[in-house]
Chains A and B, each alone.
Chain A
Amino acid sequence: MTPRSRLPFYIAVFLLIAAGISLAIWRHIELGIPWFAGEQRPVWMIEARVDFDAENGPVLASLNVPENPPGFRILSEQAASPGYGFSIIEKNGSRRAEWTKRDVSGRQTLYFKTQFIPDESAINRPPNPEPKARRTFWEEPQATAVREVLAQAKERSSTPESMTRELIRLMQPDARTQNTTLLVAEENYLDLLVDMLNHSGIPARTADGLKLEDARRRQSLMPFLQIFNGEQWLTFDPNTADQGVPESLLLWRQGSASLLDVVGGDNSEVSFSMLRQTVPALQLATMEFDSNGLGFLSFYELPIEEQSMFRMLLLLPLGALMVAFMRIVIGIRTSGTFMPVLIAVAFVQTTLVPGLIAFLSVVSIGLMMRGYLSSLNLLLVSRISALIILVIFITAGLSIIGYQMGFNTGMTVTFFPMVIIAWTIERMSILWEEEGAHEVLIQGAGSMFVAISAYLLMSAPLAGHLTFNFPELHLVILGLILLMGQYTGYKLSELKRFTPMKVYD
């Protein structure tokens, strides 16, 4: 009989551990679940406020809302407007929030709140269908001026981007020639730029941006220029020709649609307030589960009650790992294999010191009572059953006495599994009769030590966070336990036990 090769086993364990870790890393990157419990992420809360005077009749207010502004992800949207019907409508490539009401009069205020997460990786999908440049008809003498200015800009450029930059420079006040002065009137500067760029064959449009500063109110939008270079829309500052979106700038409106339309009202205006919030990264990740459909991988989909149960359940493997380690590698003797884990779980609910006091007092009172039971000559099953009832009496008594004396610790006794306590008492009692008090002390202390170690491991905030949010890490724990099951080396306690062998070496 040849010993089986252990290589497949080690490969399997390695695969388990690798699978667990890589799944966790993938979910961390993909879903943004943080490694640590307390991580915070900045979130911009932007509130658009629409004011108008209603004209005693039906009202339709429609506000352009951001779709996917470069550099940001939308986390949530909500509208606050009493008595209005509200919906978000996709219309030819732009999203609009629409408020409707049958009969309105007086000054009206509508709010639209959005939360944005700064996200460098937020990609702009290429627009569909591809934008086309539209030719504009110019009257003379503007037509000649436009032709000349465009020719000048074309001369000095090679790409749509450089062409745009050159054109903006030519139109600046300090660089103006006769041609440009003829064209530019202050109020129509940006529209003129857009028309000219379109005329030269480059699709162009305007965009409105918000400068993000914490706790600012009554901000208005700043105009920007966007051109299409064949792949994506690029943003330019129409006054300085700077390309790209500054970090603290959020493009609220992109495209040719109007920002605000109010039918049935006048004197309409829109203004923005903003606030920088820090939200726990975890909350962010879970909020996004709902939106991107990856939620089925997490426990957050479950009802809260089940969630809290799973929080406890998922800590158990850690306790099991601790017990395996303590018994296989350290060699601590415990009373019952997994009694320490169950006690540790109870400690997690009661916190350590009150739990320890409660547990030890129940067990010691129970041991005294068990001494009387053993003289009654009962069958084992009925003895255990009687013991369970006694244990319940003891816990009830401790709770009531503790409560009357003003301790809340008495109440925590109820978290302990009664049957386990009863069995522990039974085992300890038999051990006492057979092996003496010394062995009871050794095994009792060993069990308590393992239980407290398991508790310390399970009650660490990081442990609770990782086990619940990265359930796949349990594969790693499983792999470690399997590895320990193959450990054939000496236990720490055996180094002590075999000490007398020194003589024979």
Chain B
Amino acid sequence: MDWISPRKLNRLGMLNMNRRNVDYIARYNERSSYPLVDNKLKTKLAVAEYGVRTPRLLQVVRQQHEISGFRQMAEDLGGFAIKPAKGSGGKGITVITGRDNDEYVKASGTRITAASLERHLTNILAGLYSLAGTPDVAIVESLVESVPTLARYSFQGVPDIRIVVFRGYPVMAMLRLATKASDGKANLHQGAVGVGLDIGTGRSLNAVQFNKPITLHPDTGLALENIEIEAWGEMLEMASRCYESTGLGYMGVDLVVDAHEGPLLLELNARPGLAIQMANGRGLLPRLRTIERLKRPHFTPQERASYAMEVFAAL
């Protein structure tokens, strides 16, 4: 058994779950704003007003009888993603990349019948994936086509970028790459690779899988040390703009870079995890406290993003 002493963790400024819940989420996130974030459909509508773009919405399945309509719509689509509106942690998201006769092909390459897709929709409507087990709606979105420069690092599945935004300031970011272990999902606890990104430049710092440092992607074998995200400043500004649209003081913003559309917002998270610190090899606390101590907060997303790029840059 290997342990790290609490003193060392404090020196690193690691934010732990209890402190995150008590000092940040409970203090800076209004309960009334949660539905905005916990419901992807509401999120899409809310951020659209602030010029934050999201993947195109193809259909919303609200009732059991609308599922047959889904079948007709899916007939002439190449690929799409089905998501429960209130799902969390990537649960219940099914990504279809193509068709094979009567069957659909999932991102992982496994085939799935139309009947089981419909059962999946039924489950979503019954609230199987929603946070409190409440009835839910299913949203069908167009497939995100990742930029090739990033896509080659990921093993089936779209690489996305998680940025923790505190009171409108982007404080920490990481790139999440799917692996064979994570079944095309970008969740770190399922085995995706997390690559810490320098807030100042958008360059990779170091990478972890299952909380252990790695240097090569386990499936694609590519080195993870020289990744650079394009249009980094624009992405930070976009993440910062989400603060205006939701008013959540402490949240995680998940972005993807689409080959045609540019940066898109995938979802917001009111309870961003702690794994981002492991990917960065740095604790969140010093940065959060820097912002809490600010005498004069900046009022525009551009100012906040550039302040963050200046102050939180890795030396």
Q: Which residues of A contact B (CB under 8 A)?
A: 1, 3, 328, 331, 377, 379-381, 430, 434-435, 485-491, 494-505
A–B pairs, 12, beta carbons within 8 Å:
A1-B28, A380-B133, A490-B18, A494-B17, A498-B4, A498-B277, A499-B2, A499-B3, A501-B4, A501-B12, A502-B4, A504-B12
**Residues on the B chain within 8 Å of A434, using CB:** 91
Q: Within 8 Å CB of B218, what residues of A?
A: none
Q: Flag the segment in B19-27, B36-44, B149-157 that touches A.
A: B19-27
Task: Check: B11 CB closer than 8 A to any chain A CB.
Answer: yes
Most buried by A among B1, B2, B6, B9: B9
Nearest B residue to A487 via CB reads B18
Partner of A505, one of B6, B8, B118, B133: B8
Query: Closest approach, in angstroms, between the C-beta of A156 and any C-beta of chain B?
Result: 80
The residues of A that contact B16 with a CB separation of less than 8 Å are 488-491, 494, 498
B115 in the interface, Cβ–Cβ < 8 Å? yes
B22 interface neighbour in A377, A486, A494, Cβ under 8 Å? A486
Residues of B within 8 A of A501 (CB): 4, 8-9, 12, 14, 277-278, 281, 283
A498 CB contacts on chain B under 8 angstroms: 4, 9, 14, 16, 277-278
A379→B17 contact, CB < 8 A: no
Chain A: CB-nearest residue to B20: A488
Q: Identify which of residues 195-225 in chain B touch chain A, using a CB-to-CB cut-off of 8 Å.
A: 208, 211-213
The distance from the CB of A437 to the nearest CB of chain B, in whole angstroms, is: 14
In Å, the complex CA distance between A489 and B27 comes to 16
Question: Nearest Cβ distance between residue B54 and chain A, in whole angstroms?
Answer: 25
For window 99-142 of B, CB contacts with A under 8 Å fall at: 115-116, 118-119, 122-123, 125-128, 133
- Are B3's CB and A504's CB within 8 A? no
Closest to A497 in B: B211
The chain B residue sitting closest to A328, CB to CB, is B18
Additional pairs, 6, CB under 8 Å, beyond known A501-B9, A503-B213: A3-B27, A328-B18, A380-B127, A499-B3, A501-B14, A502-B8
Residues on A with C-beta less than 8 A from B283 are 501
Question: A3, A486, A499: which has the most chain B beta carbons within 10 Å?
Answer: A499
How far does the alpha carbon of A235 sit from the alpha carbon of B253 in the complex, in Å? Answer: 88
Q: Is the CB of B126 within 8 A of A381?
A: yes
Alpha-carbon distance A144/B1, docked complex (angstroms) = 102
Q: Which residues of B contact A500 (CB under 8 A)?
A: 208, 211-213, 278
By a CB distance below 8 angstroms, the chain A residues around B190 are 435
Report whether A491 and B18 are in contact in the complex, using a CB–CB cutoff of 8 Å: yes
Chain A minimum-CB-distance residue to B21 = A488
How long is the Cα–Cα vector from A505 to B12 in the complex, in angstroms? 6
Supposing A377-B122, A379-B126 touch, asked if A496 and B18 sit within 8 A by C-beta, the answer is no
**Shortest beta-carbon contacts, A-B, top 4:** A380-B126, A488-B19, A377-B119, A504-B281
The total of Cβ contacts below 8 Å across the A-B interface reads 90
- In the assembled complex, B282 has its CB within 8 A of some CB on chain A: yes
The answer to whether the Cβ of B5 comes within 8 Å of any Cβ in the partner chain is: yes
In the bound complex, do residue A489 and residue B18 qualify as a contact, i.e. CB atoms below 8 Å apart?
yes
Out of A377, A381, A488, which one reaches B18, CB within 8 Å? A488
CA distance A300 to B308 in the complex (A): 65
Q: Which residues of A sit under 8 angstroms from B208, Cβ to Cβ?
A: 500
Chain B minimum-CB-distance residue to A379: B126
Task: Establish whether residues B17 and A505, one from each chain, have CB atoms under 8 Å apart when the complex forms.
Answer: no
Closest Cβ of chain A: how far from B179's Cβ, in Å? 14
* B contact set with A: CB distance below 8 Å: 1-6, 8-9, 11-12, 14, 16-19, 22-23, 27-28, 64, 91, 115-116, 118-119, 122-123, 125-128, 133, 190, 208, 211-213, 277-278, 281-283
With A434-B91, A501-B278 as known contacts, state yes or no: A488 contacts B14, CB within 8 Å.
Answer: no
CA distance A369 to B20 in the complex (A): 40
In the bound complex, CA of A490 to CA of B18 (Å): 7
Interface residues of B: mostly helix, strand, loop or mixed?
Answer: helix
Instruction: Tell me whether B122 and A379 are in contact (CB under 8 A).
Output: yes
Chain B residues, CB < 8 A from A489:
6, 16, 18-19
Provide the bound-state CA to CA distance between A430 and B123, in Å. Answer: 11
Tell me which residues across on chain A come within 8 A of B1, comparing CB atoms: 496
Distance from B112 Cβ to chain A, minimum over Cβ atoms (Å): 13
Q: Is the CB of A504 within 8 A of B9?
A: no
Task: Determine if A430 and B128 form an interchain contact, defined as CB atoms under 8 angstroms apart.
Answer: yes
Q: Are B11 and A505 in contact (CB under 8 A)?
A: yes
Smallest Cβ-Cβ distance to B90: which chain A residue: A434
When chains A and B are docked, how far (Å) is the Cα of A269 from the Cα of B18? 79
Within the assembled complex, what's the spacing in Å between the Cα atoms of A478 and B278? 35
Closest Cβ neighbor of B91 among chain A residues? A434
**Distance of A331 Cα from B22 Cα, bound (Å):** 16
| Residue of A485, A500, A501, A503 most packed against chain B (CB within 10 A) | A501
B4–A499 touching, CB < 8 Å: yes
CA distance A505 to B7 in the complex (A): 11
CA distance A379 to B118 in the complex (A): 11
Contacts of A496 in B (CB 8 A): 1-3
Q: Which residues of B contact A504 (CB under 8 A)?
A: 12, 281-282
Q: How far is the CA of A266 from the CA of B115 in the complex (A)?
A: 104
Cα–Cα, bound, A380→B5 (Å)? 45
Residue pair A380, B23 in contact (C-beta under 8 Å) = no
A491–B8 touching, CB < 8 Å: no
CA distance A142 to B231 in the complex (A): 129
A434-B92 Cα distance, complex, nearest whole Å = 9
Alpha-carbon distance A487/B6, docked complex (angstroms)? 14
Query: What is the distance, in angstroms, from B66's C-beta to the closest C-beta of chain A?
Result: 15
Taken together as a complex, chains A and B put the C-alpha atoms of A499 and B212 apart, in Å, by 9
Q: Are B4 and A495 in contact (CB under 8 A)?
A: yes
Contact B6 A495 (CB under 8 A): yes
In angstroms, Cα B190 to Cα A435, docked, is 7
Complex CA distance for A503 and B206, rounded to whole angstroms: 12
Residues of B within 8 A of A486 (CB): 22
Residues in B with CB closer than 8 Å to A503 are 213, 281
A430, A491, A494: most-surrounded residue (chain B CB, <10 A)? A494
Return A488 CB to nearest CB of chain B, in Å: 4
Neighbour of B23 across the interface among A328, A488, A497, A502, CB < 8 A: A488
A490 to B13, CA, bound (A): 12
A499 to B278, CA, bound (A): 10
- Report the Cα distance A272→B297, complex, angstroms: 91
- Given contacts A3-B27, A430-B128, A500-B211, are A490 and B6 in contact (CB under 8 A)? yes
Q: How far is the CB of B198 from chain A (nearest CB, A)?
A: 14
Q: How far does the Cβ of A355 sit from chain B's closest Cβ, in whole Å? A: 27
What is the CB-to-nearest-CB distance from B81 to chain A, in angstroms, rounded to a whole number?
A: 17
Question: How distant is B239 from chain A, measured CB to nearest CB, in Å?
Answer: 21
Which has the most chain B C-beta neighbours within 10 Å: A3, A377, A487?
A377
Inter-chain contacts of B91 with A (CB < 8 A): 434
A495/B278 in contact, CB under 8 A: no
Distance, CA A502 to CA B14, complexed state (A)? 11
**How many angstroms between the C-alpha atoms of A489 and B6 in the bound complex?**
9
Contact A490 B9 (CB under 8 A): yes
Chain B residues with Cβ below 8 Å from A488 are 16, 18-19, 22-23
- Bound: A488/B122 CA distance, A: 40
Residues of B within 8 A of A3 (CB): 23, 27
Q: What is the CA–CA distance of A331 and B18 in the complex, to the nearest angstrom? A: 10
Which residues of chain A are within 8 angstroms of B18 by Cβ–Cβ distance? 328, 487-491
Q: Among B8, B91, B118, B277, which residue has the most Cβ atoms of chain A within 10 A?
A: B8
